[in-house]
Amino acid sequence: MPRYQISHRTSYEYSSPVIQSNHLLHLAPRVIESQKILRHNFMIEPAPAWQSDRIDYFGNPMTLISVEEEHSKLSVNSFCEIEVLEVPKPDFKASVPWETVAGSRQTLPADIAQYVCASPYAAATQQLFDFARDSFTDAAPLLEGARRLMERIHKEFRFDNTTTDVSTPVKQVLEQKSGVCQDFGHVMIAAMRSLGLPARYVSGYILTHPPEGQVKLEGTDASHAWVSVWDPQSGWVDFDPTNNLVNSPEHITIAYGRDFDDVSPISGVLLGGGQHTVGVAVTVKPL
């Protein structure tokens, strides 16, 4: 069973002092059947005056912090060690016809049906419906259609971190066919939902491999995002359109949500601060 050590450091520098800041963190790994959390801890500077660990609406661990001393820098460091269990790939062609699930969405359990509904970054449109239908032909097995859709996004879209930002609409990503993992995930989710099929956003990390002959550098990894699709026989199945992978043991899950907005690693409000710069350094190390 693969075991990983993950370090995720986020640092902020402010142009003027922050009097008080309150933040919500989605950085603690989620407990799921396919991974075992061996340890997790935070190091936050300045130290919060108040900290509370809770579970959010979607079942993800979240941490609320309040930094009440004046500061011009904030550093949030998350460290964890996780063992990932290998999950077999499903029989794509043995899943039910996609119309069976799309036609019964009114009777789906609420915790699944919520992932059919539109969300801020993954709203269904006619354009996305047309895009999805090229993969979901009449009576196609649901998971086979999802695999085809994933492969098309991987093949037709270009990874480019200069063409989008966190607020780029999925419609624009579909038209320009470029973006980052977050964008590719939103396209696939919104396309699935346009057909009436449940799909959710997964945030986490993926093990990256340096070029042959080179050493893996500390802090050069990044957060990752992929998609989980629901099938009545197999349950939730993970599809990564960025890397064209299904149920990969090199993925580490942090949180589930309708889209990025539900599981942003760090969000919050500040009193003061002026302009700010942010730096992120992630390392995923196999043990």
SS (H, E, C) 7-74: EEEEEEEEEEEEEEEEEEECCCCCCECCEEEEEEEEEEECCCCEEEEEECCCCCEEEEEEECCCEEEE
* Under 8 Å between Cβ of 72 and 13: yes
58-116 pLDDT tens trace:
999 999 999 999 999 999 999 999 999 988 899 999 999 999 999 888 889 999 999 99
* CA 33 – CA 217 distance, rounded (Å): 30
* Under 8 Å between Cβ of 227 and 154: no
Please say if the pLDDT value at position 216 is more than 80.
no
* Under 8 Å between Cβ of 229 and 241: no
Backbone angles phi, psi at 201, to 5 degrees: -90, 135
* CA 196 – CA 163 distance, rounded (Å): 29
pLDDT at 218: 63
pLDDT at 166: 86
3-state secondary structure of 105: helix
Under CATH, to which class is 92-262 assigned? alpha beta
155-174 pLDDT tens trace:
999 999 999 998 899 999 99
* Under 8 Å between Cβ of 238 and 247: yes
Q: What Rg value do the Cα atoms of the chain yield, rounded?
A: 20
* Under 8 Å between Cβ of 134 and 152: yes
Work out the average pLDDT over 218-232. Answer: 88
Please say if the pLDDT value at position 20 is more than 90.
yes
Q: What's the CATH number for 3-85+264-286?
A: 2.60.40.2250
* Under 8 Å between Cβ of 142 and 98: yes
pTM for the structure as a whole = 0.94
pLDDT at 211: 72
Amino acid sitting at position 279: G
Domain residue spans of the chain? 3-85+264-286, 92-262
* Under 8 Å between Cβ of 227 and 202: yes
Which has the closest alpha carbon to 29: 257, 249, 182, 203?
203
Please say if the pLDDT value at position 215 is more than 80.
no
Q: Other C-beta atoms within 10 Å of 129: how many?
A: 16
* CA 261 – CA 149 distance, rounded (Å): 23
170-211 pLDDT tens trace:
999 999 999 999 999 999 999 999 999 999 999 999 998 877
Helix orientation angle between 142-156 and 181-194, rounded to the nearest 10 degrees: 140
Q: Are β-strands 276-286 and 3-25 bridged in parallel, bridged antiparallel, or unpaired?
A: antiparallel
Confidence at 219, pLDDT banded by 50, 70, 90 = low
Give the chain's mean pLDDT. 94
